[in-house]
Amino acid sequence: MKNTNLSAMVAVTIALGNAALAQEEIIFGISATPNSLQGQSAYEFQRRANEKLGDLGEVKVFDSSQLGKDKDMLQKIRLGTMHITLPSSVMPEIAPEYAIFDLPFLVSDRDHLARMDETLFKGTLVPAAEAEGYRPLAVWENGFRQITNNERPINVPADLEGLKIRTPNSSWRVSMFQEWGANPTPMAFSEVFVALQTGVIDGQENPLTNIAGAKFQEVQEYLSMTGHVYSPAYPTVGIDTFEKLAPEVQMILAETAQEVAIWAREQGAKEDEDLLTTLTEAGMKVNEADRAAFVEASKPIYEKFAEEVENGQAMIDEAMALAEGS
């Protein structure tokens, strides 16, 4: 009997050891700060996913570019040294179709974005990224982008003339600000605060959550509410690395990413008004830009997309049709 009990104990010990070895550590790196909406969304994903994963694995989030800049992390999920990252404006450099979200004033509101998620994203954008070895699991919110600077309020595109405005490393965003007369300066988000503080650049453009999250109000005087672009963030995996995970783990991560997409849109809507109050109380001078003037100045960007991106005009038409009822 003792031998039987001993054998059973050994078997249980081996089984537990194998289970421990099988547990996946799922590394999720982001460039955003933890208190930005992207950061909040990543940690909400971590919380929900870990509840479901149990002993199957554990998601660990590394924020604020601890694991590298966006392009570095995209390379790492391909190589398998991390599992998930959260690119936003850099995605058109992976697949040009993603520049649909760089078209100024294309996304009317969050309801419009939700409809684009169900159709344009799943039907066109996901396959485009998969062809390059990546798989976006969902569309999360980065938010509607606004312009800050230290020179003057931006009411019309002419007010941007000559200003050094930081943009993400996106050729489409650079083209947009060139079209409006600015001097766009691509730069990693992690470098922007010091560049603003030292006067290397005059301003930048980001959603309110990133402006407040990075404390740009400490080094910027003017906040111009342009709402010129709605930029999503995409929780993205490298296909080869992702498919090495257990099927149940893959399913949990994919389902949780979709859940957090809804949570992020709701959270973004709640935060916008509070963040504007926070930035105003911090001393920023706020103005509403002339939307019509910016829309008129943006027509060449739409023409460029239609000419340069395969099926570009069809994507524009689909996105605009989805705006009906917004």
Q: CB–CB of 210/40 below 8 Å? A: no
- Pure H helices in the chain: 2-22, 37-53, 70-79, 110-116, 126-130, 171-179, 192-198, 208-213, 239-242, 247-281, 291-297, 299-308, 312-322
Q: CB–CB of 311/98 below 8 Å? A: no
Q: How far apart, in whole angstroms, are the C-alpha atoms of residue 74 and residue 309? A: 22
- Predicted confidence at residue 326, as pLDDT, reads 58
Domains of the chain are 2-319 (3.40.190.170)
Residues of the chain with pLDDT under 50: 1-2, 4-21
- Predicted confidence at residue 275, as pLDDT, reads 95
Q: How far apart, in whole angstroms, are the C-alpha atoms of residue 40 and residue 46? A: 10
pTM higher than 0.75, yes or no?
yes
- Predicted confidence at residue 61, as pLDDT, reads 98
- Predicted confidence at residue 276, as pLDDT, reads 96
pLDDT tens, 181-234?
999 999 999 899 999 999 999 999 999 989 999 999 999 999 999 999 998 999
